[in-house]
Amino acid sequence: MTGELVLLTGSTGFIGSAVLKKLLEAGYIVRLAVRSIAKAESYTKSKYPEASITFIEVPDITVDGAFDEAVKDVVYIEHVASPFTYKIEDPEKDLLIPAVKGTKGILYSALKYGDKVKRIVVTSSCAAVYDGHDYDLRNKSPPMSEADWNPVTWQEGLDGPTGVSYCASKTFAEKAVWEFVENEKPNFSVTVLNPPFVFGPMLQNVTKDNVNTSNAIIANLMATGVNSAPTMLFGMVDVRDLADAHVKSLTAPGVANQRIIVSGRLFTYGSLLECAKKTKEEGDAYCNGPDDSAVINKEAEECHGIDYSKSVKLLDMKYLPFKTTISETAKQLVSLGF
């Protein structure tokens, strides 16, 4: 039903801004939980001047009761906010605690004060699914699925490289979700979405210096031409597909208290580099031309390292082609100076 009130966190980020667009297109009224109302208002008024958007300030999502006021009167919650950056000084302070406390905080606020809440959709990650020491999907047999969990420990998150710390933050935040569901048995349901690398055109305010972490992989390949992982194969999803999954998950039957991998494609760094190079050299002639995903991304297209059938069955996902995602992302990156 359109016209219902949805609380969205992380709306000024890469994924959150895409979810906001989809929510508005679907006819929802949206309340944004933001660190700064002034900053968020400036963004939304320029993008959606006629939209039904309200704001509530949540300066620190790790504070107890941070979302108590935000959840009141909302019917659905889209919890997207969680740190994803490799520029950290203290893994526990910058990644682990914000991810876990932010997630637990919004769940318990909804339990206490969200009398109208029907469902909460949480952005987790495939980082909570596969082993953080091994991102390569080339030899995954059987394919990675929702039954799998990253075995990372909290201590490894503190001591390991940044990639492992990020994986730990997503793993423990998601475990907190399912512990909450099991222990509290709330009247509302929870759906967790697990995307791998998320690429696609950026709606958030972006410059050459603040491209989001995942799209920065493409930007770096374009800037250097160096393939730093020539033998590895990874999962990906277009941010627009992920946003679509978020909005569908609010009302889709069969997704209550389900964990769902949202990933329709695999890729190699070599295929990213080739597609981005063609985009930069040929421009619209390439972007608007035939879909050559099966050629340019042949190795990944023929691999089955991720089982995403649950997303197709429960959310009727129809994923965008590799070329569409990467060429349109690269086109925007070219406009930023890459």
Domain boundaries, the chain: 5-201+236-264+305-320
CA angle 152, 157, 159 (to 5 degrees): 120
What count of other Cβ atoms lies within 10 Å of the Cβ of residue 299? 13
CATH code of 5-201+236-264+305-320, in short, is: 3.40.50.720
Q: Which residue type sits at 324?
A: T
- The pLDDT tens digits of the residues spanning 186-221 come to 999 999 999 999 999 999 989 999 999 999 999 999
Report DSSP state, residue 126: G
Q: Which residues contact 25 (CB under 8 A, 6 or more apart)?
A: none
Give mean pLDDT in consecutive 10-residue pieces for the chain, a chain of 338 residues.
Answer: 90 95 96 92 89 93 95 98 75 92 96 98 95 75 91 94 90 98 98 97 93 95 91 94 98 97 94 96 94 91 89 97 97 96
- CA 216 to CA 222: how far, in whole Å? 10
Q: Is 309 helix (H, G, I), strand (E, B) or coil?
A: helix
Q: Which of these, 189, 165, 171, lies nearest to 256 by C-alpha position?
A: 189
Strand 119-123 relative to strand 197-199, pairing: unpaired
H or E element that contains 33:
strand 29-34
pLDDT in tens, 25-69: 999 999 999 999 988 898 898 899 888 899 999 999 999 999 999
Q: How much is the pLDDT for 154? A: 96
Instruction: Tell which residue, 44, 14, 71, 48, has the closest CA to residue 215.
Output: 14
Question: Cα–Cα distance between 57 and 41 in angstroms, integer?
Answer: 11
